Amino acid sequence: MTLRIETMKLFAPVVLLLSVLSTPTFAQEWDFPHISTSGYGEVTAIPDMAEFSVQVVESTMNAEQAKAAVDKAVTEFTSKLVKSGVAQQNISSSNLYINPQYHYPANGKPELVGYQASRSITVRVEEVSKLNQYLDIALESGINQVNSIQLKVRDQDKYQQQARMAAIEDAKLKAQSLAKGFERKLEGVWRVDYNTPSVEPIMMRSANLSEKMDVADTYQESSLVIRDRVDVVYKLAP
């Protein structure tokens, strides 16, 4: 989203041009005295929810056995999650993939040695304190791979608004400080450029799910940083 505030241009000699420019796209020629600032703001939040993706991979001599083993693990895992209080709409599974496995001898044709079947399940965790419990259920159900774990905050918009207001205040303070330093006064805002930032959750690496995982310390010690930025052009008073 780009927010633009403009007033009628006043053609006057350029008395003073102060620029605090951080990106080429914001560097433009203005035919009046002005100050350009970039404001930055950030807030921290403790993750209170999560989303994780796990995968079951099975290799057998024939495709039917591989499919049956994978489907069994997915069904058992999903059923146990629901019994543990996870809403069905918070569980999604991918299509089943079956790939033939070949041995490639130094001399001779490739030899079919079996089939590998795989399927992924993504789970939204409303209470981050239960994340370990759900990963243990995955292990018990025959799931053998963790693809990703994302730690998030539930009320993202609230924290983003706080970061945005901090960025606006930062831009104001910079403009006021610059104007005061050069013995000028601000007439008002001429233009505001703003683009909604993307927020990256805390990511934990993938791993083989061969034993119980303990991620409690990780999310309890982690904090999510939400950042925002605003670019502002202030017109200087005559």
Structure confidence by residue, pLDDT tens digits, 158-197: 999 999 999 999 999 999 999 999 999 999 999 999 988 8
Q: pLDDT-derived band of residue 22, with 50, 70 and 90 as boundaries?
A: very low
**Mean pLDDT of all residues in 75-82:** 97
CA atoms within 13 A on the CB side of 17: 10
Q: Is the dihedral of CA 10, 12, 16, 20 positive or negative?
A: positive
The confidence score (pLDDT) of residue 198 equals: 74
Q: Across all residues in the chain, what is the average pLDDT?
A: 83
Closest CA to 209 of 143, 122, 148, 134: 143
Q: pLDDT-derived band of residue 28, with 50, 70 and 90 as boundaries?
A: low
Note whether 61 and 124 are same-domain residues: yes
Task: Supply the range of the domain harboring residue 58.
Answer: 49-152
The confidence score (pLDDT) of residue 209 equals: 62
Note whether 93 and 59 are same-domain residues: yes
Reported as a single tens digit per residue, the pLDDT across 109-136 is 889 999 999 999 999 999 988 999 999 9
Note whether 119 and 173 are same-domain residues: no
Domain count, the chain: 2
CA 123 to each of CA 35, 60, 148, 150, 220: distance values in angstroms, whole numbers, following the listed order: 49, 27, 11, 10, 20
Closest CA to 41 of 156, 159, 153, 151: 159
Note whether 37 and 132 are same-domain residues: no
Decide if pLDDT at 11 tops 50.
no
Decide if pLDDT at 2 tops 50.
no
Note whether 74 and 127 are same-domain residues: yes
Q: Answer whether residue 6 is part of any domain.
A: no
Note whether 127 and 193 are same-domain residues: no
Reported as a single tens digit per residue, the pLDDT across 187-214 is 999 999 998 887 777 776 656 665 555 6
Q: Answer whether residue 217 is part of any domain.
A: no
Note whether 55 and 145 are same-domain residues: yes
Decide if pLDDT at 226 tops 60.
yes
- The residue type found at 219 is Y
Note whether 144 and 167 are same-domain residues: no
* Model confidence, pTM: 0.69
Decide if pLDDT at 218 tops 70.
no
Asked whether 74 and 56 are in contact (CB, 8 A), the reply is yes
Q: Answer whether residue 34 is part of any domain.
A: yes
Residue 117 CA to residue 94 CA, distance in Å, equals 12
Note whether 168 and 188 are same-domain residues: yes
The confidence score (pLDDT) of residue 197 equals: 80
133 alpha-carbon distance from chain centroid? 24
- Poorest-pLDDT segment among 7-21, 131-145, 220-234: 7-21
The confidence score (pLDDT) of residue 107 equals: 82
Note whether 126 and 111 are same-domain residues: yes
CATH number for the domain harbouring residue 29: 3.30.110.170
Closest CA to 215 of 121, 125, 135, 140: 135
Decide if pLDDT at 14 tops 50.
no
